[in-house]
Structure 1
Amino acid sequence: MLTLAFDTSSRTASVALLRDRHVLYNAILHKDRNHSEVLLPAIDEACRLSNVPVRNIDLFACTIGPGSFTGLRIGVSTLKGLMLATGKPAAGISSLAALALNVGETDAVIGSMMDAGRGQVYLAYYRYGEDGVLHPVGEPQARDPRSVEDPFSEPVIYVGDGVLRYAGLIGPLSAQKNKMAPAEQQFISAAAVADLALEKYFHGDLLDPARCAPVYLRSADALPAAGNG
């Protein structure tokens, strides 16, 4: 089964192509350009280098939030276009869940934290269950990094660009039991998006192209920031 996945929810963009769970192509794009300029060329490159025409893709997936207004709109509109052009199914993935998957299976709680702008972070916690599947703990939220608390007795691994930006303000990071994920895990990988999409596919949790839309945690995120269009 061929899965094409991408992420445009933050400053970086990512594209991956998987055959079942095997990664054929995976790239994180650290470019100072609008995602609309780099996403389609990256998708074309993924298909070309993997020798897989877009028409042969079985499943599409992208992150649908939370994240930047402009980035999410670009990702979701591209996903809808691929669904309508090919008639193939698609899955919408939480940006925070994809970020948590970077850490890998662990006994610790994973705290996914994205820079939300306006001096806030998007935060969600996850645990791996006995089934080896990542499960959310509570609901995702937008909050001031200085107000982040540690409600867990077990260790917490924090991951994401929100941790990188606000590490000095996040109280739980001062606790000996908690830590920050390594630098190479701090950005969303589209391969993780594809892995989560496969789980949704096998559970029949797929998107309706007529109702596919970004998911925002703040009402203000449904409006473009000044200068972003």
Structure 2
Amino acid sequence: MLTLAFDTTSKTAAVALLKDKEILYDTIVNTGLNHSEVILPAIDQALRRESLKINDIDLFACTIGPGSFTGVRIGVSTLKGLILATGKPAAGISSLAALALNAGKTSKLICSMMDAGRGQVYAAFYRYDKNEYLEQIGVERAVQPKNVLLDIDEEIDLVGDGAINYADIICKNKKIIIDPKLPKYIKASSVGILGIRKFHRKDLLNTETLTPVYLRPADARPKKALFEN
């Protein structure tokens, strides 16, 4: 089975191709351009690299949030377009779950943190079960960094740019070390791996059930009128 996976929810965009669970192609695009300008060319480049066409793909997997509001919308719109164009199945993946795979297989609790702006992070906890499947613990939240680990009293791996950017606040008075060598952004291959798992569980999306995940209202606010009574 060929899977095309991509992410546009963070500061970087990412695209991967997998054959079953073998990673054929995995790249992160960080050009400074808007994700809407890079994601389709990046997908096209991945397909050309492996001498494939879009109709050769058996499964699409894409992060659907949380993350950058514009980025989430771009990813969801792109995924909808691919579903409509090909009729192939698709899986929607939590960006925080995909980020958690950066920690690798571990017996410790994993906390994924994406910098959400406004002095907040998007955060969620994960743990590998006895079958080595990643399972979410609790709910995804938009929260101030100082409050992420308030009730945590065990060894934990922190991953993501939110953990790195707010390390001094998060780790204050706690015996936690954040490994700066771990990738801080989402790898599309991780999105693909989680997508394949959803495929086998028949947890798939269509254009009607595909909706973005936002954990707070959009950053953009209507401008005030120039003249108010």
State the TM-score, normalizing by the size of structure 2.
Answer: 0.93
Corresponding residue number in structure 1 for 2:112: 112
Corresponding residue number in structure 1 for 2:214: 216
AA of the residue aligned to 1:198: I
| 1:4 equivalent in alignment to 2:4 | yes
Two-structure CA RMSD over aligned residues (Å): 1.7
State the TM-score, normalizing by the size of structure 1.
Answer: 0.93
Corresponding residue number in structure 2 for 1:197: 195
Contact 1:69 1:224 in 2 (8 A): no
* Alignment CA distance shift 1:36-1:105 (3 Å): same
> In proportion to residue count, which structure has more helix?
1
* Alignment CA distance shift 1:181-1:173 (3 Å): farther
AA of the residue aligned to 1:155: E
1:172-227 per-residue CA deviation (whole Å, 9 max, x = no partner) reads: 46533x32134342110000000000000000000121231211111x13x6468x
Corresponding residue number in structure 2 for 1:51: 51
Corresponding residue number in structure 2 for 1:187: 185
Instruction: Report the Cα offset of residue 20 of structure 1.
Output: 0.5
Secondary structure, counterpart of 1:180 in structure 2: coil
Distance 1:140 1:122 in 2: 7
**Gaps in structure 1 of 5+ consecutive residues:** none
Please tell me whether Structure 1 or Structure 2 has the larger radius of gyration of its CA atoms. 2
* Alignment CA distance shift 1:174-1:4 (3 Å): farther
Task: Calculate percent identity across the aligned residue pairs.
Answer: 54
Segment of structure 1 superposing worse, 90-99 or 138-147: 138-147
* Alignment CA distance shift 1:88-1:114 (3 Å): same
Instruction: Report the Cα offset of residue 151 of structure 1.
Output: 2.9
**Gaps in structure 2 of 5+ consecutive residues:** 223-229
Corresponding residue number in structure 1 for 2:159: 159
Distance 2:172 2:17 in 1: 35
